[in-house]
Structure 1
Amino acid sequence: MKRVGIWLDKIKAHIVTFHDSKESFITILSNVENVHVHGGSGRRLIGGPQYGVQDRKYLEREKHQLKKYFKTIISEIKDVDEIVIFGPAETGEKFYKELTEKHKDLATKIIDVVKTDSMTKRQAKAWVKVFFKTKGCRFL
């Protein structure tokens, strides 16, 4: 049985795979721009928009960058039996939503989506190992 844990945020994804008592680990970088949208122009315009167009352009670009990032992750996990998604913020939930909408075959393999703090590679490996051990994994 091939089990995968995916820790992800907007910057990177750590993919921990356990298969036949073997462990593998890869990191995928997202290339999502880390730009904070600033509202307003500094002066008050009564009744007029304040950078609304720029906000939409940024958010649309970010959405497309996230989809490309998710496709890269999906290409690494196509032949798995069980998946757990974990990490800070809402990127894990967005990834889960992408899987349920466009990759139903993988979505059925998701055991859980868990919010966790930021983790090092070593912590992510240990977290996945403990998660699957408590879920009844016999080879860990």
Structure 2
Amino acid sequence: MKNTGIWMDKEKAYIIDIKENKEDMITIFSEIEDYRIHGGSGTRFKGGPQDVVQDSKYLEREKNQFKTYFKKIIPYIENADKIVIYGPAEAGEKFHKELEENYKKIGKKVKAVLKADSMTENQTKALIRDYFKNYKPHIL
């Protein structure tokens, strides 16, 4: 029985495999750009010149970068029996949605998607170890 826990945010993912009380961990970096929109009013006067900001262009690029990030993670989790996903932001939820839509076989192995703040590697290992030690089946 191979249990896999993933702690992920927009920047990186820690993938921890637990099999027969042995833990293996790998870190995958996302390469998702952290963009800040620059633009808006070019003057302090109402109705002055303004720059047009193309939000949709940035959001589409970010969406494609997330897909690339998720594809890098898939080979490390496809042989897991149970998967739990943790993270501080929406990255874990986006990943779960991607699994359910495009990787159905893996998506069925996800037992929970839970919120967790940023933590050290050892804290992450302990969190995932404790989850599977206390695991009780429930429906997502």
Query: Per the alignment, do residues 79 and 56 of structure 1 end up closer, same or farther by CA in structure 2, a change over 3 Å counting?
Result: same
Q: Does 1:129 align with 2:129?
A: yes
- Which amino acid in 1 is paired with 2:22? K
Greater than 6 Å deviation, 4+ residue runs: none
Looking at structure 2, the residues matched to 56 and 68 of structure 1 have their Cα atoms a distance apart, in angstroms, of 18
What is residue 99 of structure 2 aligned with on the other side?
99
What is residue 90 of structure 2 aligned with on the other side?
90
TM-score by length of 2: 0.88
SS at match of 1:31: coil
8 A contact 1:41–1:51 mirrored in 2: no
Q: Percent identity?
A: 50
Looking at structure 1, the residues matched to 58 and 41 of structure 2 have their Cα atoms a distance apart, in angstroms, of 16
Q: Does 1:51 align with 2:68?
A: no
- Structure 1: gaps (5+ residues): none
Looking at structure 2, the residues matched to 39 and 95 of structure 1 have their Cα atoms a distance apart, in angstroms, of 31
Looking at structure 2, the residues matched to 14 and 70 of structure 1 have their Cα atoms a distance apart, in angstroms, of 12
8 A contact 2:16–2:24 mirrored in 1: yes
How many equivalent pairs are there? Answer: 134
Looking at structure 2, the residues matched to 111 and 95 of structure 1 have their Cα atoms a distance apart, in angstroms, of 13
